[in-house]
Structure 1
Amino acid sequence: MDDDLSRVAQLDPVRDQEPTPEQWARSRARIEEMMARSRTGTAPVRLHRPPARRLVIGLVAAAVLGVGGILAAPALRPGADTAYASWTAIPAEVTAAQLVTLTTGCARSWAEPAGEAVLAERRGTSLFLVLKMSSGALVTCFSWDGDEPAGADRLSDGHGAEPSLPATGRVSMLGGPQTIGGAAGRQTSALGRVGPGVTGVDIALPHGPTVRATVSNGWWAAWWPDRHGDQTDGFRIVVHTAAGSRSYRPEEFS
């Protein structure tokens, strides 16, 4: 076993590099997140990572930890700092070229031909996509720098069935708000479905701007920086309809 690990370590391109305090903080945060998911049974159904990136991260032997059979490495996310600096509370339109790049990378991560884009948004340099694959599976992909996405997560069940639409004028939230990352690169995201008659969705942060969610094809999604961990507790989801607006706490969707 030791000989095998030694041979693997020789392949590590950063074997002589000590992880920075920020990388250790991100690793600990990611481990805590996975432990919490394992306790609550809310782990993603399926997760794919681009093969090249998976190899590099998997070989950072000095920083790999085992937790309940799960291997975790620091969240090495090139472009994260730029994404935070360029983030905007109001999403911008995704260009055709950006959509092609993200869709192609997402399909490559999922190892399946892409179907159609369901929702796409841009906030600064970052891009987020909800994509229906050729099999009918619904997945999400996120890119910090508008280039290769950092893997793909399944939204639909194993048979490709989508979460049901809420009632008229209502929205749903899938799995609650998700916060990942460490002290130097922490983010919170939320997404769900929108029922008929919903004209817009906003996220009212407790200590920051109001974040306008992207609404498209019966879905809504938004993400925001959360460096100090104080933008998750207490935020409200504001649903707009022709009749007016109504505010909800995240726990009302559980």
Structure 2
Amino acid sequence: MNHHDLDSQLRAAARPVPRGRVHQAPAQDLLERIVNTPRAAMGATPIGVGNGRRGIVRHPARWVTVGAAAIAVTIAALVVPGLGGDREAYASWSATPAQLSADDAQTIGRECVRKLEPDFGYTQADLSNARKVIAERRGEYGYLSIVTKRWSAACFRDKTGDVQYSSVFEGQVTDAQLGRAGIELQGWGQLRTSEGHVRIMSGHVGSDIAAVDVSLTNGTTVHATVDGGYFLAWYPEEAGAGAGTTVTLHKKDGSASTGLSATELYDAPKLD
């Protein structure tokens, strides 16, 4: 595939940005840093395409997606027609997460930040001083979210051991703004690995939220990992899918907020 063909496919995949918070200060600041960062240090980070709620910004070696909930950058591999998935793809995946070992979490976090540094200027010191690192294991796969005072990033390790970041988010709402039952979706991008596509979700919830479930249109309920006011989950998904996905917030008193649209939460948080 030559450069012109690749460029054409990327443009065809792009969709317009809706009205939102793309013009707010955190979004503009991160966009400036992305555009002005030298590309010579870039490694094999996958090419990104929008997922329906993002605009596309082009610069020498990168397509990034910018918008929603103050600022999020979602990285997802280009979908090339004719590349089908393995029927056994993600065979060890489970709708219920298990604990990721501390050693694995540390390894994934360090490798993820190493890849983030040339693109966004984040450092290992940021990781060491993180407000929260929440992690989970589903089958052969490791996934964690790094939350600092200024930014958060979702980091995924596939079964081959390759670590990729799927989203970067700045301009988070505060605990006080979320209140007791609010939710902020900080990441909900698609990522492609050697086995196919996955949907990566991460976010922040109010103080009364004890559990988070993600309901897919195929009837699957994915149980998220929730820890210290933050949550994350991932699941296999066809390229371009996601419409109709909803989130349920289970409160400590046993009540629940159901049917929250993931698409709408990705555009703006639900504050209590």
Q: CA 1:171/1:153 → structure 2, altered by over 3 Å: closer, same or farther? A: closer
The one-letter amino acid paired with 1:36 is R
Q: Which residue of 1 aligns with 2:174?
A: 164
Residues 45-66 of structure 1: CA distance to partner in whole angstroms, max 9, x if unpaired? 5779984425xx79xxxxxxxx
Aligned-pair CA distance for 1:84: 2.2
The amino acid that maps onto 2:15 is: A
Assess if the C-alpha contact under 8 Å between 1:139 and 1:156 holds in 2.
no
Shift of the 68–192 alpha-carbon distance from structure 1 to 2, 3 Å rule, reads: closer
Amino acid at match of 1:167: G
Cα distance in 2 for partners of 1:217, 1:84 equals 28
CA contact (8 A) 2:89 2:196 kept: no
**Cα distance in 2 between the residues matched to 1:189 and 1:152:** 7
Q: Which moved more, 1:96-105 or 1:111-120?
A: 111-120
The CA deviation string for residues 7-32 of structure 1, in whole angstroms up to 9 with x for no partner, is: xxxxxxxxxxx79xxxx99x94x655
Tell me what 2:73 maps to. Answer: none
Q: Give the CA deviation at 1:243.
A: 3.4
1:155 lines up with 2:169 in the alignment = yes
| 1:237 pairs with one of 247, 253, 264 | 247
Aligned residue for 1:123?
138
Q: Distance in 1 between matches of 2:150 and 2:57?
A: 32
> 1:53 is matched with which residue: 40, 44, 61?
44
Q: 1:37 to 1:143 in 2, by over 3 A?
A: farther
| Equivalent residues in 2 for 1:56-205, closer than 5 Å | 69-70=58-59, 71=62, 74=78, 84-111=90-117, 112-113=123-124, 114-115=127-128, 116=130, 117-132=132-147, 137-145=151-159, 147-151=161-165, 153-157=167-171, 162-165=172-175, 166-174=178-186, 177-181=188-192, 185-205=196-216
**Which residue number corresponds to residue 12 of structure 1?**
none
**Root-mean-square deviation over aligned CA pairs:** 4.0
1:83–1:145 Cα contact (<8 Å) kept: no
TM-score normalised per structure 2: 0.60
Give the letter aligned to residue 156 of structure 1: E
Tell me the percent identity. 24
Structure 1 residues 127 and 83, CA gap change in structure 2 (3 angstroms)? farther
1:226 paired residue number: 237
Q: Distance in 2 between matches of 1:199 and 1:68?
A: 38
User: Any idea what the Cα deviations from partners look like across 1:53-97, whole Å, max 9, x if unmatched?
Assistant: 25xx79xxxxxxxx8745567579xxx967622221111110122
2:69 maps to which residue?
none
Change in Cα spacing, 1:129 to 1:201, as seen in structure 2 (3 Å) is same
Closer/same/farther in 2, CA of residues 243 and 163 from structure 1, 3 Å limit? same
Whether the 8 Å CA contact 2:250–2:257 is kept in 1: the answer is: yes
Gaps of 5+ in 1: 1-17, 59-66
**Distance change in 2, residues 1:173/1:214 (3 Å):** same
When residues 199 and 144 of structure 1 are mapped into structure 2, their CA distance, relative to the original with a 3 A threshold, is: same
Q: 1:74 to 1:239 in 2, by over 3 A?
A: closer
Equivalent pairs, count:
209
- 1:249, CA displacement in angstroms? 2.6
Within the alignment, does 1:212 sit opposite 2:209 as a pair? no
Q: Distance in 1 between matches of 2:209 and 2:160?
A: 29
Q: Distance in 1 between matches of 2:12 and 2:142?
A: 26
Letter matched to residue 244 of structure 2: G
Q: Secondary structure, in 3 states, of the residue corresponding to 1:85?
A: coil
- The normalised TM-score by structure 1 is 0.64
Residue in 2 that maps onto 1:64: none
